Copies of this chain bind each other. A is one copy, B any other.
């Protein structure tokens, strides 16, 4: 397993779990990247919707960005209260569950899990787009580029949180530097009346729609993708250094300020330079070429964009496993999700997240635009539930100035609720329906799983266990040929059971004759039974035979099936042998009173 060590690092002792805490600059890099990086695609998606109504409509992107920044301010005010009320980590699941009841908590959890997956998918797709904008030759390989990003993220996260924090701090600050350079240079150049260094691709879109309220709302919905990730900080308060709540709150404010600046700046520049989306290059890439020319600064911008998008995806890699481990402890998802891996991270959650996001990237051919309609529904539902939960909490606890606090959270809940409605309606046909369908399905599964664990506990209980009686064994040794491995299995069978029989499933009549002959010499007195198989199945005749043997047995009588199993010197050689043993085990697993044992036969080369 040395390759695993090399890839993931040496195991960490359980004791070290509490040490993995983040300072503000690192935390800003880890938690705010999701929001910041969305300027890489959110502005573009707004423009893409508006371009349906022709070039003149593109100007609406500025007021729409303004509304989104306003929503951001409301959200931040509302979430600061959550952080202080839940210094141990107040994810939407916990807040909604505690204040609105288990069912709403699970709805919030389902919504968030889906949105984390989408964050990863959208961010890697957008990251691939940043790369293919700079190197158009890679356009055909954007799915492969996206999957490569996912792989790096999964490996990075399997190594552990603090180290991944450090790995990812550099790109975030690089992106902040690049974007500030872009916006300041762009605004100055435009102010001086200088022409773009490289004019954006001048494809003037044909208007196919009018500028309707619905279209503007669709553009707004597309832009709301920028707000996902705000909740990351309140979910991850535990990951901050002490005093956790205050540090988290400060980080939240810094993030909000930067995001508002980037978002307004990009929209303004896109307007000034009349950049049009959907021409095989991202809006940010076109802006970069217009402001910097295709030089060092431009490539730095694209590199930083791709990198911060990876960090953004990484936010979800911190939060998805964390939330699913909480759900696992509450027994709503498989409990393997609560296991700490070698490196003190929730490895299973990381793998599931990477797998699901990879599936989406593949299914949507690596297209950010295709994924956007699924995005943001979940997170706005979680926002609304979490803040509604906070209102309920204020009204119940009646703490200091609780009326004011309740009003702030109620404003947040109302604003995000309204946005949720707009998003769900305007994006429904393009893909939001998938998420709206999946959320109740997830909740259904959570409840089903919870019930299963309840029944398991009941049935494993030792109450009223029947008294011990000595067991009586019959051993059955299936074999396809008489060879050294079969003979060893037979010897083992004789040593554990009172009665032993060998069986052979007849596929090839010639072989049957050969085996009968050999059995006379090697069988050692054990009876050999030949089973017919007209459909060439090995498993079915054997299962039927075992059923016959078990018929009419008492509770203390058992059949043990002893299988010779080939163990090859190299793993790949194992693929060269029939996996009948595996199929037989699977088929007999469900029969009470039947135990299957493999006797390994080791090949030396």
Tell whether A598 is near chain B: CB-to-CB under 8 Å. yes
B598 and A596 contacting across the interface, CB-CB below 8 Å: yes
A460 shortest CB reach to chain B, Å: 4
Contact with B along A556-568 (1 / 0, CB 8 A): 0010100001111
Task: Determine which of B12, B465, B485, B595 lies in contact with A598 in the assembled complex, contact meaning CB atoms within 8 Å.
Answer: B595
User: Which residue of A143, A560, A566, A604 has the most chain B CB atoms within 10 A of its CB atom?
Assistant: A143
Tell whether A456 is near chain B: CB-to-CB under 8 Å. yes
Tell whether A487 is near chain B: CB-to-CB under 8 Å. yes
B449 and A462 contacting across the interface, CB-CB below 8 Å: no
A575 and B487 contacting across the interface, CB-CB below 8 Å: no
A411 shortest CB reach to chain B, Å: 37
Q: CA A482 – CA B460 in complex, angstroms? A: 9
Tell whether A599 is near chain B: CB-to-CB under 8 Å. yes
Contact with B along A473-486 (1 / 0, CB 8 A): 10000000111110
Q: CA A513 – CA B487 in complex, angstroms? A: 45
B579 and A567 contacting across the interface, CB-CB below 8 Å: no
Question: Which residues of B have CB within 8 Å of A143?
Answer: 143, 362-365
A461 and B484 contacting across the interface, CB-CB below 8 Å: yes
Q: CA A453 – CA B577 in complex, angstroms? A: 9
Q: A340-B536, A366-B365 are in contact. Are A487 and B465 (CB under 8 A)?
A: yes
Tell whether A356 is near chain B: CB-to-CB under 8 Å. no
Contact with B along A574-589 (1 / 0, CB 8 A): 0111110000000001
Binds B, one of A70-78, A161-169, A286-294, A488-496: A488-496
A2 shortest CB reach to chain B, Å: 14
Q: A471-B491, A495-B471 are in contact. Are A362 and B362 (CB under 8 A)?
A: yes
Which residue of B is nearest A371, CB measured?
B140
Tell whether A142 is near chain B: CB-to-CB under 8 Å. yes
Tell whether A136 is near chain B: CB-to-CB under 8 Å. no
Q: How many copies does the complex hold?
A: 2
A524 and B468 contacting across the interface, CB-CB below 8 Å: yes
The bracket for how many chain A residues form the interface is 35 or more
A590 and B575 contacting across the interface, CB-CB below 8 Å: no
Tell whether A335 is near chain B: CB-to-CB under 8 Å. yes
Q: A484-B465, A567-B590 are in contact. Are A14 and B536 (CB under 8 A)?
A: yes
A449 shortest CB reach to chain B, Å: 6
A535 and B13 contacting across the interface, CB-CB below 8 Å: yes
Restricting to A514-535, which residues have a CB under 8 Å from any CB of B? Answer: 522, 524, 534-535
Which residue of B is nearest A567, CB measured?
B589
A483 and B470 contacting across the interface, CB-CB below 8 Å: no
Q: CA A20 – CA B515 in complex, angstroms? A: 31
A499 shortest CB reach to chain B, Å: 14
A141 shortest CB reach to chain B, Å: 7
Question: Which residues of B have CB within 8 Å of A459?
Answer: 484, 603-604
Q: CA A595 – CA B561 in complex, angstroms? A: 13
Which residue of B is nearest A363, CB measured?
B144
B336 and A578 contacting across the interface, CB-CB below 8 Å: yes
Task: Determine which of B11, B335, B578, B601 lies in contact with A535 in the assembled complex, contact meaning CB atoms within 8 Å.
Answer: B11
Tell whether A199 is near chain B: CB-to-CB under 8 Å. no
Tell whether A455 is near chain B: CB-to-CB under 8 Å. yes
Restricting to A334-387, which residues have a CB under 8 Å from any CB of B? Answer: 334-336, 339-340, 342, 362-367, 369-370
B491 and A468 contacting across the interface, CB-CB below 8 Å: yes
A543 shortest CB reach to chain B, Å: 12
Tell whether A403 is near chain B: CB-to-CB under 8 Å. no
A465 shortest CB reach to chain B, Å: 6
User: Which residue of A342, A365, A605 has the most chain B CB atoms within 10 A of its CB atom?
Assistant: A365
29 pairs of residues in contact across A and B, judged by CB atoms under 8 Å:
A12-B535, A140-B369, A141-B363, A141-B370, A142-B365, A143-B143, A144-B363, A335-B577, A335-B578, A339-B578, A342-B535, A342-B536, A452-B576, A456-B566, A459-B484, A459-B603, A460-B481, A460-B484, A461-B483, A462-B482, A465-B487, A473-B495, A496-B496, A567-B589, A592-B600, A595-B597, A595-B598, A596-B597, A597-B597
18 extra interchain contacts, Cβ-Cβ under 8 A, other than A334-B575, A339-B578, A596-B597?
A: A14-B536, A140-B370, A141-B364, A142-B365, A143-B362, A143-B364, A144-B365, A335-B577, A342-B536, A342-B537, A460-B481, A465-B484, A468-B491, A471-B492, A492-B595, A496-B496, A590-B600, A590-B602
